[in-house]
Amino acid sequence: MGKITVGVLFGGQSSEHKVSLKSAHTIITNLDREKYEPILIGIAEDGKWKLYDGPLEAIPQDTWEQSDCTPIVLLPDPSQHGLLKTVGGMSEKIHLDVVFPVLHGKNGEDGKIQSLLELAGIPYVGCGVLSSAMCMDKDVSHRVVKEAGIRVPESIALTGAISEEQLAKGMTGFNYPVFVKPVSGGSSYGVTKVEEESKLMAAIREAQKYDMKIGIEEGIDGCEVGCSILGHGDDLTVGEVDQIVVTNGYFHIHQDMFKKTGLENASIHVPAQLPQVVQEKIKDTAKAIFRALCCTGIARVDLFLTPDNEVVFNEVNTMPGFTSYSRYPRMMEAAGISVTEITDHAIQLALENAN
């Protein structure tokens, strides 16, 4: 029996393009080569798809486009099940058994690439179209999770041009600080902690650089915690809970600036420095959120923990980072699960779900 061909998608049209390159390098180098044959598919920032066959180290260095690239297209016909490569007027089809879309943010985690793969009839790792779209939109995901009986931060969502009058009406009942963020964003891009009303409009303009729909959320007292989840339905594996300790300001990651740690103002404890009973409560809440949002495969559920140990939903990342400093693989590794085991389980689950 031959190896399973895995199309690894990386790059993409997103503010998290460079993060994706680092994550993809981790996935590619940890694939079990006795079982899987990776087909490397880069998506340039202008949206062009390219088959890559160069040195792997060029991917995280963002120099991969400089050589060994061939233009390709994904065939939407499900009977073809793969890519079309054209060189010198000659076309060649490349079969894909499954796709691992290591894409972060817009056009990667929002259901668009998932829809394309569904049309092409190709199984893929991670959440489906609906789940990806819900999780990417923080306003929608908060509404769904709240309906499931789990506390979410009080918030408002605003779209397009925002007047002072509209803002004043929407902010009735809010106390500062608040957090302004793009509703569909990641890696903390465009997020601002606002301490006073006079700085609110500037924070909104910053968030709108990344998404015209923005959210304003109440600040939650306490710390941030997270759970890495792998599986489907009732069969879920949860890594160790992590806990973020902020030294100043608030937790935010600028992964392209802080290459070694990804952190500017915080440290992360894995496992969390919390009583076991509290950690189990966090895990149970994360699993309930995972199911409420119809997640499957892999996802990181981010939460707040208040001083009285109430768990509050923050967001779900349906394709979490796999860089050297990313939280998802660190939580799994703390539970004794390697990246190779994660990729194997996720790929097999994608193939099983397709059947």
pLDDT, one tens digit per residue, over 131-183 is 999 999 999 999 999 999 999 999 999 998 888 888 888 898 899 999 999 99
Q: Which residues are annotated as a binding site for ATP?
A: 138, 179-181, 187-188, 217-224, 314-315
Q: Which residues are annotated as a binding site?
A: 138, 179-181, 187-188, 217-224, 302, 314-315, 317
d(CA 223, CA 244): 6
Q: Is it the case that residue 186 has pLDDT exceeding 80?
A: no
Full set of structural domains in the chain with CATH: 4-124 (3.40.50.20), 133-151+220-354 (3.30.470.20), 155-218 (3.30.1490.20)
Interior angle at CA 185, CA 184 and CA 190, nearest 5: 120
d(CA 148, CA 132): 18
Q: Which residues are annotated as a binding site for Mg(2+)?
A: 302, 315, 317
d(CA 37, CA 254): 32
Q: Are 22 and 11 in contact (CB under 8 A)?
A: no
Give the sheet arrangement for strand 213-218, strand by strand.
155-159, 213-218, 178-182, 192-194
User: Active-site residue among 14, 15, 187, 228?
Assistant: 187
Whether residue 228 lies in the annotated active site: no
d(CA 351, CA 330): 25
Q: How high is the pLDDT of residue 164? A: 83
User: Active-site residue among 15, 16, 20, 240?
Assistant: 16
Residue type at 217 in one-letter notation: E
Rounded to whole angstroms, what are the CA distances from 86 to 41, 46, 51, 95?
A: 14, 19, 11, 14
Q: How high is the pLDDT of residue 184? A: 86
User: At residue 321, what are phi and psi to the nearest 5 degrees?
Assistant: -65, 150
d(CA 129, CA 133): 6
Q: How high is the pLDDT of residue 245? A: 87
Q: Is it the case that residue 257 has pLDDT exceeding 60?
A: no
User: Active-site residue among 14, 15, 228, 326?
Assistant: 326
Mean pLDDT taken over the chain: 92
d(CA 243, CA 273): 7
Q: Binning pLDDT at 50, 70 and 90, where does residue 250 land?
A: low
Q: How high is the pLDDT of residue 89? A: 82
pTM here? 0.92
Whether residue 326 lies in the annotated active site: yes
Q: Binning pLDDT at 50, 70 and 90, where does residue 351 land?
A: very high
Q: Which two tokens stand for residue 300?
A: 């990181």
Tens of pLDDT, residues 38-62: 999 999 999 999 999 999 999 999 9
